[in-house]
Amino acid sequence: MDVVETWTGRTACLLQRAMRMTNEAFAERLGISERTVSRWHANPGMVHRTEAQQILDIAHREAGEDVQRRFALLLRPPPPRMESQALRVAIAVVLRGEDVLLVCRRGDGELRWQFPAGMVKPGAAAETVAVQETHGETGVHCMIRRQLGERVHPVTGVVASYHLCDYLAGEAANLDPLENVDVTWVPRASLTRFIPADRIYPPILEALEATA
């Protein structure tokens, strides 16, 4: 049987719950007024006077094993809340002179040209993922110049983190044939022939114009 060092409004009410009693029945069991029990509910942090501490000790000690087990379970702190994380991807807009790197993805019965991208796992940095995934699927080494921003992608619904990157080395090749059909450099001026302008994150177009 767990021992309660100090009874508070909260622990007294938990004992009431374990006993499955109404305020009236619990008050009668303890020999106090129902109004007092209501006050405990309203003030869970209050510490009871010595007389009330003794009354609650006795009630707890004399409760059956089922009540004591339920009370012990109620006393346990709640498990940590697992916050769900929105699905997040890191997208690399890689520039090499006047060209920008694109991959052609398979999916839903159609082919779609996109910027290299990868899923960001919990605890990972989007910048690192953008660089690693670009190399992993295209063979191109790049470095982050700056972040272009984030948005909820209007088509996929995932949180997309965009990064403007500079080409360092490597020949563009399709290293992920299960996901992609092709990898290529396209002139910036021709980008909207591959990806409709209304699907391109506006800061990308602004960055391409500014660095032209």
pTM for the complete prediction? 0.60
From first to last of the 212 residues of the chain, give the pLDDT tens digit.
567 888 998 999 999 999 999 999 999 999 988 888 888 888 888 888 888 899 999 999 898 889 989 988 888 876 666 555 578 899 999 999 999 999 998 866 677 899 999 999 888 999 999 999 999 999 999 999 999 999 988 777 889 999 999 999 999 999 988 888 999 999 999 999 999 988 899 999 999 888 76
Q: What secondary structure does DSSP assign to 6-74, as a single string?
A: S-BHHHHHHHHHHHT--HHHHHHHHTS-HHHHHHHHH-TTPBPPHHHHHHHHHHHHHS-HHHHHHHHHH
